[in-house]
Amino acid sequence: MSTVYLTDLSAAGQDWTDERALAWVADRLSLEVLEEILEGGSSARVYKARAGDGGLVAVKVLVEQPGVVDGHDLVSFQSKLTQIEKIRAGAPALGARYLPVLHSVDGGRWAAYTTPFYESEDTAACLREPGGEEAFFRQYTAIVEDLVLQGYGVDAVPAPPGYLAKVHIGRFLRRYPILERSLPAELVGAAELVVNGRLCQPPRLLLKRLVADGVPWLERMAPARLMFPAHGDANTRNILVRRDADFRIIDPRGSTDYWDPVYDLAKTLFSLSVWDPALRLGFAIRRPRPGQYEVGFRCPPYEGYRAAIDGFLPYLDGLTELAALFEGDPHWLQRLLLTHDLHVLAEAPCRLSDPKPKWDCRGEESSPAALALGHYLLGTLLINDLAEQLAGGGEPDVDRHLRLVTKSLPIG
**Quick check: 1 pLDDT over 80?**
no
Which of 116, 140, 168 is a domain's end point? 116
Which of 85, 116, 147 is a domain's end point? 116
Please check whether residue 306 is in contact with residue 273, taking contact to mean a CB–CB distance below 8 angstroms.
no
Do 43 and 148 belong together in one domain?
Answer: no
> How many C-beta neighbours within 10 Å does residue 34 have?
14
Q: Return all residues near 257 (Cβ < 8 A) that are at least 6 apart.
A: 226, 229
- Residue 59 inside a domain? The answer is yes
Do 81 and 206 belong together in one domain?
Answer: no
**Quick check: 93 pLDDT over 60?**
yes
pLDDT of residue 408: 67
Do 254 and 145 belong together in one domain?
Answer: yes
**Quick check: 412 pLDDT over 60?**
no
- Residue 135 inside a domain? The answer is yes
pLDDT of residue 8: 52
260-302 per-position pLDDT tens digit: 999 999 999 999 999 999 999 999 999 999 999 999 999 889 9
Number of domains the chain contains:
2
Question: Is the pLDDT higher at 406 or at 125?
Answer: 125
- Name the helix (H) or strand (E) containing 220: helix 216-220
Q: What is the mean pLDDT of residues 101-127?
A: 94
**Quick check: 238 pLDDT over 70?**
yes
**pLDDT above 70 as % of the chain:** 95
- Residue 215 inside a domain? The answer is yes
201-216 per-position pLDDT tens digit: 999 999 999 999 888 8
pLDDT of residue 52: 93
Do 271 and 256 belong together in one domain?
Answer: yes
CA 267 to chain centre: 6
pLDDT of residue 9: 45
Q: What is the mean pLDDT of residues 75-88?
A: 96
**Quick check: 16 pLDDT over 60?**
yes
Do 140 and 84 belong together in one domain?
Answer: no
Establish how many alpha carbons lie within 13 A of residue 300's alpha carbon, considering only the half-sphere containing its beta carbon.
5
Q: What is the mean pLDDT of residues 223-235?
A: 97
Do 43 and 163 belong together in one domain?
Answer: no
Which of 72, 94, 116 is a domain's end point? 116
**Quick check: 4 pLDDT over 70?**
no
329-386 per-position pLDDT tens digit: 999 999 999 999 999 999 999 999 998 878 888 888 899 999 999 999 999 999 999 9
**Quick check: 247 pLDDT over 60?**
yes
Do 98 and 128 belong together in one domain?
Answer: no
Confidence band, pLDDT 50/70/90 cuts, at residue 42: confident
Q: What is the mean pLDDT of residues 59-87?
A: 93
Do 9 and 110 belong together in one domain?
Answer: yes
Do 318 and 189 belong together in one domain?
Answer: yes
> How many C-beta neighbours within 10 Å does residue 161 have?
10
pLDDT of residue 2: 40
Average of per-residue pLDDT values in the chain: 93
- Residue 58 inside a domain? The answer is yes
- Residue 85 inside a domain? The answer is yes
CA 184 to chain centre: 24
- Residue 313 inside a domain? The answer is yes
Do 55 and 153 belong together in one domain?
Answer: no
CATH code of residue 63: 3.30.200.20
Query: What count of residues does the chain have?
Result: 412
> How many C-beta neighbours within 10 Å does residue 129 have?
10
pLDDT of residue 7: 55
Question: Is the pLDDT higher at 38 or at 339?
Answer: 339
* Spatial distance between the Cα atoms of 295 and 178, rounded to a whole number of angstroms: 21
Strands (E), 38-166: 45-50, 56-63, 103-106, 110-116, 121-122, 156-158
- Residue 411 inside a domain? The answer is no
152-186 per-position pLDDT tens digit: 999 999 999 999 999 999 999 999 999 999 999 99
CA proximity to 259, closest of 168, 383, 143, 141? 168
- Residue 412 inside a domain? The answer is no
In terms of DSSP bridges, do strands 103-106 and 4-7 run parallel, antiparallel, or are they unpaired? parallel
Q: What is the mean pLDDT of residues 119-124?
A: 96
* pTM, full prediction: 0.95
Question: Is the pLDDT higher at 9 or at 327?
Answer: 327
Do 46 and 11 belong together in one domain?
Answer: yes
Do 99 and 137 belong together in one domain?
Answer: no
Q: Domain of residue 89: give its range.
A: 4-116
CATH code of residue 261: 3.90.1200
pLDDT of residue 138: 96
